[in-house]
Amino acid sequence: MTTWIKFCGTTSLEDALASIEAGANALGFIFAPSKRRILPEKAQEIIQRLPSEVERIGVFLDSNGEEISRTVREVRLTGIQMHGSRDIPPEIYRRLPQERRDSLRKIKSILVSADFRSALESALAFSEFVDAWLLDSGAGSGRTFAWQDAQAAVQNREGRFIIAGGLTPENVAEAVRAFQPWGVDVVSGIELEPGKKDQAKMKAFVAAVRKAEQQ
- Give the residue numbers marked as catalytic: 8, 136
Contact assessment for residue 29 and residue 10, using Cβ atoms and an 8 Å cutoff: yes
Adjacent-strand bridge partners of 80: 58, 106
Helix (H) or strand (E) holding 88: none
Distance CA 182, CA 136 (A): 14
Distance CA 179, CA 154 (A): 10
Question: How far, rounded to the nearest angstrom, does the alpha carbon of residue 83 sit from its chain's CA centroid?
Answer: 10
With CA atoms as reference, report the closest residue to 207 among 169, 171, 167.
169
Contact assessment for residue 20 and residue 40, using Cβ atoms and an 8 Å cutoff: no
Distance CA 168, CA 159 (A): 24
Contact assessment for residue 182 and residue 161, using Cβ atoms and an 8 Å cutoff: yes
Contact assessment for residue 61 and residue 89, using Cβ atoms and an 8 Å cutoff: no
